Amino acid sequence: DADVTQTPRNRITKTGKRIMLECSQTKGHDRMYWYRQDPGLGLRLIYYSFDVKDINKGEISDGYSVSRQAQAKFSLSLESAIPNQTALYFCATSGAVTDTQYFGPGTRLTVL
């Protein structure tokens, strides 16, 4: 089984809809991250969490919110989706010692 899982893997939604992307991990890591990837712009950090009670904004947090429900679960929400939020979204985890981040398989989100 994969260490980092993301659901759904693909989602098509309409402008204005609320959508939640979920991430679960079995690596036992405390730190979790959400990134988006756009062609030509690379991976950019949206939010990150170092433990259940710690949530931090990344470089592009506007229009997004997150929830850390447990050590192993970190969800990303788009309260009112807009077309320029169409992208690939990745969740990642890391342990405090090595800082190496391990990525999930991604969610392809299309906002029409």
Partner 1 sequence: EDQVTQSPEALRLQEGESSSLNCSYTVSGLRGLFWYRQDPGKGPEFLFTLYSAGEEKEKERLKATLTKKESFLHITAPKPEDSATYLCAVQASSNTGKLIFGQGTTLQVKP
The residues binding partner 1 (CB under 8 A) are 4, 31, 33, 40-45, 48, 50, 58, 90, 94, 98-106, 108
Structure tokens given for 52: 């259940």
Residue 16 CB, nearest approach to partner 1 (Å): 27
**For partner 1, the closer CB: 106 or 111:** 106
Rg from Cα positions in the chain: 13
Residue 4 CB, nearest approach to partner 1 (Å): 8
For residues 50 and 84, give the distance between their C-alpha atoms in angstroms, rounded to a whole number.
Answer: 28
